[in-house]
Copies of this chain bind each other. A is one copy, B any other.
């Protein structure tokens, strides 16, 4: 498939069938698009309305004067076949069926309907997104299905069988500074499947990283082949829905997918070189790691920025995640001794900043030494707001600390991640200060994690990916 799918992302005209004058999803689809910088023509279709949101409403797709490339269907399932026929006559190229209650009902009627929709679409050369999905968010073209998604584009592509989970991925990753190339919520995947999208995204020059929420695949053999091919070219991070018995049951009634066990998915990812997330939070953390970090090929981590208790937490979290908290090597210790012959012996990895006051060391100085030393593969700096941010007057000094992390991270050839708690409601000044600081880190291209544990787990998988990728590249081809 690959690049030939490109046309679905570049419609010159979009019609929303089932756009409504009252607030419902059909109205939402139309209104959200209306407020986007989409340059093509946009038509509402609703035989019972004269105009919708100030636009002339048409009785059917066929009544629209100009050509229509892309149709969003927000009508009930019983109108789906008629719509496909109308679209066929109109020369529509893609139908996105938000329309649901087909195969996922588990009822014969719904399964037959979905099969017939597919049959007629194939006959007419129409490609289908869905049914039972939210469709496309493609900021470069001004296509979206939710308000509040970033208007700037980025390098992450997302494919997801769930519309709600797609919104979760976009919102949570966007809040961490990630931006998107192409995002597709694809539901039941009756025509275009995860394999088609993955093949396309592998070749898409706008996409450098792919995240997927998958509930099930229809062709396991093809999926493994495609995933293997794609993963060699771009990192793929996957969240599998339906890992448990109850989850599989929910999947069946959600997208009618056959879930497959977690063990099978672990094997598939191991063989293909994709990275499997254990939950939504972990998926977002992996996205952040892959989006922002420079590649790393070893697990030796230098840690700094916390007080005594935080240093213990950091050391435990990193080692439990599979990173190695390397003791300071002898030659680095000699440099410390030369710098301050009295207090040098207090310094270790992690750097406990609560004891730095007495000597002439700064956290920045020590982290810089670790950044320059070959014993360390990567750095994690903690900005502990419980330690540093007690009152509004502390903000400038804390910002200085953060800026020293940013400065090291910008100039170091090694990956550097920042840990900064943001999940702290209550105090407005603190929330604002932390938000500002996080924005500054993200603006400098550094990943920010809310806890050291989450940073450590994501980074461990990130490093594993790069090691595995190197091994694969060294195999005879």
The interface residues of chain B lying within 8 Å CB-to-CB of A450 are 423
The CA-CA distance from A421 to B168 in the complex, in Å, is 10
Interface status of A440 (Cβ within 8 A of chain B):
no
Q: Which of A209-254 contact B (CB under 8 A)?
A: 213, 215, 241-247, 249-251, 253-254
Given contacts A163-B309, A253-B352, A255-B308, contact A319 B281 (CB under 8 A): no
Q: How large is the interface on A (under 10, 10 to 19, 20 to 34, 35 or more residues)?
A: 35 or more
Interface status of A390 (Cβ within 8 A of chain B):
yes
* 0/1 interface trace, chain A 359-370, chain B, CB 8 Å (1 if under): 000000000000
The interface residues of chain B lying within 8 Å CB-to-CB of A308 are 162-164, 250, 253-255
Given contacts A280-B313, A425-B435, contact A168 B350 (CB under 8 A): no
| Extra 20 A-B pairs, beta carbons < 8 Å, given A148-B391, A244-B320, A431-B431 | A28-B390, A146-B390, A163-B308, A165-B309, A165-B312, A167-B387, A168-B384, A171-B386, A174-B426, A241-B309, A241-B312, A241-B313, A244-B315, A247-B315, A250-B314, A251-B312, A253-B348, A254-B311, A280-B453, A422-B423
Interface status of A26 (Cβ within 8 A of chain B):
no
Interface status of A175 (Cβ within 8 A of chain B):
yes
Interface status of A172 (Cβ within 8 A of chain B):
yes
A240 to chain B, nearest CB (A): 9
Cβ contact of A254, chosen from B253, B312, B319, B427, cutoff 8 A: B312
Evaluate contact between B147 and A390: CB separation under 8 angstroms: yes
Evaluate contact between B309 and A242: CB separation under 8 angstroms: no
Evaluate contact between A147 and B391: CB separation under 8 angstroms: yes
Interface status of A192 (Cβ within 8 A of chain B):
no
The CA-CA distance from A53 to B307 in the complex, in Å, is 27
Which residue in chain B gives the minimum CB-CB distance to A327?
Answer: B249
Most chain B CB atoms below 10 A, which of A168, A244, A281, A316: A316
A250 to chain B, nearest CB (A): 4
Evaluate contact between A242 and B312: CB separation under 8 angstroms: yes
The interface residues of chain B lying within 8 Å CB-to-CB of A117 are none
Evaluate contact between A148 and B427: CB separation under 8 angstroms: yes
The 27 listed contacts between A and B (C-beta, < 8 Å) are A148-B427, A160-B309, A162-B312, A164-B310, A164-B384, A165-B310, A171-B386, A172-B424, A244-B319, A246-B324, A247-B315, A249-B327, A249-B348, A250-B314, A250-B352, A251-B312, A253-B352, A254-B352, A255-B308, A279-B313, A279-B317, A280-B313, A280-B451, A422-B425, A425-B431, A425-B438, A426-B435
The interface residues of chain B lying within 8 Å CB-to-CB of A251 are 312
Interface status of A130 (Cβ within 8 A of chain B):
no
Q: Which of A121-163 contact B (CB under 8 A)?
A: 146-148, 160-163
Q: Which of A309-341 contact B (CB under 8 A)?
A: 309-320, 324-325, 327
Evaluate contact between A315 and B246: CB separation under 8 angstroms: yes
Which residue in chain B gives the minimum CB-CB distance to A319?
Answer: B244
Evaluate contact between B148 and A390: CB separation under 8 angstroms: yes
Evaluate contact between A246 and B307: CB separation under 8 angstroms: no
The interface residues of chain B lying within 8 Å CB-to-CB of A146 are 390
Interface status of A190 (Cβ within 8 A of chain B):
no
Cβ contact of A307, chosen from B163, B309, B327, B421, cutoff 8 A: B163
Interface status of A354 (Cβ within 8 A of chain B):
yes
Which residue in chain B gives the minimum CB-CB distance to A320?
Answer: B244
Most chain B CB atoms below 10 A, which of A161, A245, A313, A431: A313
Interface status of A306 (Cβ within 8 A of chain B):
yes
The interface residues of chain B lying within 8 Å CB-to-CB of A162 are 307-310, 312
Evaluate contact between A164 and B250: CB separation under 8 angstroms: no
The interface residues of chain B lying within 8 Å CB-to-CB of A246 are 315-316, 318-319, 324-325
Evaluate contact between A242 and B352: CB separation under 8 angstroms: no
A130 to chain B, nearest CB (A): 13
The interface residues of chain B lying within 8 Å CB-to-CB of A167 are 386-387
Which residue in chain B gives the minimum CB-CB distance to A171?
Answer: B386
The interface residues of chain B lying within 8 Å CB-to-CB of A307 are 162-164
The CA-CA distance from A428 to B319 in the complex, in Å, is 37
Evaluate contact between A312 and B348: CB separation under 8 angstroms: no
